[in-house]
Amino acid sequence: MRKISATKPLFYVPSNKRQPLSNGAVEAAEAFALATVNVSSLGLMLTGGAMFALDLVNTADLRRKYLQKQGFLDSKEGSADEEIEEWVKSVLDKRDSGDYKAVTEGLTALVGVLAGKEEEKEKLTKMNAERKLAEGGGGASSESEVD
């Protein structure tokens, strides 16, 4: 459109005077900048809408909710410690009463659950390390990100 309007002479300019040619590189850069701004603003609006819909404040909140969903964190603060205390008390009470079969079954179940959690934790740590390498972070990932 600009090229077409650039060939038309202005109202008080003689028609035999050559009009300046348009610069294609400048026009391309301007079009690219406008397209980039439009796409990034749409992306920001969609991200904000998704965060509002999912009730997220920042990436730490997103990470916490993801870990809770996967079962690495409890939804209530400190409830895991209380549950473990109660379980240990019940196991010790069974041991004192002489019910050793129930104790061994409980310990076997606990070892199985903990082994599954450790495998999941190792997978998550490995995924974090791969993500850091892909982003160019370079160094080995620390386990504090998972905890």
- From the number of C-beta atoms within 10 Å of its C-beta (0-12, 13-18, 19+), residue 146 rates as middle
Average pLDDT in the chain:
76
Torsion sign (Cα): 131, 134, 136, 140: positive
What percentage of the chain carries pLDDT values higher than 70? 71
The pLDDT confidence band at residue 103, using thresholds 50, 70 and 90, is low
DSSP for residue 2: H
The pLDDT confidence band at residue 3, using thresholds 50, 70 and 90, is low
Average pLDDT of the residues in 11-19: 70
